[in-house]
Amino acid sequence: MSARRASDLFVECLEAEGVKYVFGIPGEETLDLNESLSRSSVRFVPVRHEQGGAYMADMYGRLTGRAGVCLGTLGPGATNLVTPIADAYLDRAPLLAITGQGSLERMHKESHQYIDIVRLMQPITKWNARINSPEIIPEVVRKAFKVAESEKPGATHLELPEDVMAMDVDGAPLPRRRLVRPEPSARELLKAADVIRNAITPIVLAGNGVVRAGAAPALREFSRATGIPVAETFMGKGVMDFEDPKALGTVGLQSRDYAMAGFEDADVVIATGYDLVEHSPDHWNPRRDKKIVVIDSVPAEIDAFYTPEVELVGDLYHVLTRLGEECRDVPHPGSPSERLRDVVLGRLEAAQEDDGFPMQPPRALWELRQAMDRDDILISDVGLHKLWIGRMFPAHEPNTVLIANGLAGMGFALPCAIAAKLVHPERRVITVSGDGGFLMNVQELETAVRLGTPIVNVVWENHQYGSIVWKQDKKFGAHFGTDFTNPDFVGLAEAFGMAAWRCQDVGDFGRHLRQAMTLDGPSLIVLPIDYSLDVAISEELGEGTVVRT
């Protein structure tokens, strides 16, 4: 081993981890690192705001299971990373954030752009560290990836002081090893099988963990073999093909959703890859009378409304397969409660006849579903549109409808779409944003144009923070602090050098969508939206909304 700069060794460690991209903005305190990156196999993707870069890393991690990497300099570069790091932390996406820092000998005193970023990042990362000596680089990098990618995945952070990065060091990357996955004991498995076999009306609640584990095929087979129907969370969308007769739809918008999907009558709930951060269990177990079987990668969170009878901790694919084999001899007829799914999908189908303009959300979603193939990817931003997409947009496959539902930060969709297209160049990637959230990371249109990333961005325009209007109107009968004006979005997109259209009547949306999908660069479609139809859809689905955007 020959002596070389610490920054070179750091980048070699990234290469050894299989890192393909680093998304970010360089700074004066990351000079050595950037120079080392420039001579590596890692592609550095300059972005226009660190938040955009960190969301790209977040989505890269979510879709690949390998930590996405983002970079910001010290001080403001690092603080700009905070929101997507928190998003990765709560939505369980593996991500490594790298930040620059001033030299070690100026950290004890008042000093230009110095703030304690290690401490700032602690509540939003699974683990983080300052590299205070070049010798520890192989260990900390390996640890950062291992911790980020282990269940439940999330964000980690490394701080790189500039003097340390310029030092000489000997050393070599530590090898990657396959992660160890625990398995539940045969006793626990048989106990769970017993609970399920003796259940009268069991139901599965499937979440993000099923998507992460790639366990949708095992879940579908479990449901087919046992006859037990499956409801999914917003982030679990697509774990069951919506056309599967055992699919009950996406729950979570209203308190009545769960009842309508059969939870009220269920005696046993099999919570599979379910994260409480998305939907609180008090909504589906208000009387705390359900027997709960947990299938997850780590032991269950404590919650008064979530006290499992048995917990099967391990690889979801494997556990579902084994449990399905144990239970297939006592098939269940399935829950009679397909009411939620029937009402929601019925409304979507009926929407093709809605000729109103501005368009109401069901027609807009119907047009999107018609235009997209089953593997194409829809990324939702955060707002009232997310609630419509979460509940009504029908998904065929996991990871084809991507929603932020843990931190739920506006501005998620556009940068995430750029990363999704880098991961899946063969699929079409479409975003839907509100006119509020779209402007929060609009600067990344330049990144998309520069990279030539063919993503289609649909902006539902209503000149309001729609979901806040909806909540305020419900609570107070009036709204306040929610209205704004917009730039000419078409002119704005054209100034970035991309194609853009404004829909002027009901037929325009489908036509522009299809045209946009053929382009080899990014595009934007402005769709004036009419939110006068309550996302609650019908009185049958109840009044009490429990969801928060």
CB of 350 to ligand TPP, least distance (A): 22
Three-state SS at 95: strand
99 binds ligand TPP (CB under 6 A): no
Residue whose CB is less far from ligand TPP, 274 or 465: 465
Helix segments in 103-240, DSSP class H: 117-121, 137-149, 162-165, 186-197, 208-212, 216-226
Residue whose CB is less far from ligand TPP, 233 or 272: 233
Residue whose CB is less far from ligand TPP, 209 or 383: 383
CB of 84 to ligand TPP, least distance (A): 11
Residue from 51, 467, 523, 545 in contact with ligand TPP (CB under 6 A): 467
549 binds ligand TPP (CB under 6 A): yes
Max alpha carbon distance in the chain (Å)?
Answer: 72
465 binds ligand TPP (CB under 6 A): yes
Residue located via tokens 């404004």? 502
The piece of 210-218, 280-288, 393-401, 464-472 that touches ligand TPP (CB under 6 A) is 464-472
Residue from 201, 272, 462, 523 in contact with ligand TPP (CB under 6 A): 462
Contact status, residue 252 vs residue 275, Cβ threshold 8 Å:
no
The piece of 94-102, 291-299, 431-439, 450-458 that touches ligand TPP (CB under 6 A) is 431-439
Rounded distance between C-alpha atoms, residue 30 and residue 36, angstroms? 10
Contact status, residue 378 vs residue 394, Cβ threshold 8 Å:
no
Two tokens, residue 34: 């950037």
50 binds ligand TPP (CB under 6 A): no
Residue from 52, 161, 466, 522 in contact with ligand TPP (CB under 6 A): 466
380 binds ligand TPP (CB under 6 A): no
Ramachandran category for residue 288: left, alpha or beta (phi over 0 → left; psi -120 to 50 → alpha): left
Contact status, residue 382 vs residue 336, Cβ threshold 8 Å:
no
CA atoms within 13 A on the CB side of 305: 10
Partners of residue 528 on adjacent β-strands? 461
154 binds ligand TPP (CB under 6 A): no
Closest listed residue to residue 11, CA positions, set 41, 46, 50: 41
Residue from 383, 394, 454, 522 in contact with ligand TPP (CB under 6 A): 383
Interacting positions 398-417 with ligand TPP (CB under 6 A): 408-411
CB of 23 to ligand TPP, least distance (A): 19
378 binds ligand TPP (CB under 6 A): no
- Is the bond into 152 cis (omega within 30 degrees of 0)? yes
Give the sheet arrangement for strand 21-24, strand by strand: 43-46, 21-24, 68-72, 95-101, 155-161, 127-130
Residue whose CB is less far from ligand TPP, 313 or 527: 527
Residue whose CB is less far from ligand TPP, 401 or 410: 410
84 binds ligand TPP (CB under 6 A): no
382 binds ligand TPP (CB under 6 A): yes
Closest listed residue to residue 155, CA positions, set 184, 186, 124: 124
CA atoms within 13 A on the CB side of 261: 31
Residue from 313, 384, 417, 498 in contact with ligand TPP (CB under 6 A): 384
Interacting positions 432-461 with ligand TPP (CB under 6 A): 434-437, 460
CB of 436 to ligand TPP, least distance (A): 3
The piece of 102-110, 293-301, 429-437, 505-513 that touches ligand TPP (CB under 6 A) is 429-437
Burial of 524: CB neighbours in 10 Å, binned 0-12, 13-18, 19+: buried
CB of 407 to ligand TPP, least distance (A): 8
Q: Which residues make up the interface to ligand TPP (CB under 6 A)?
A: 382-385, 408-411, 434-437, 460, 462, 464-468, 549
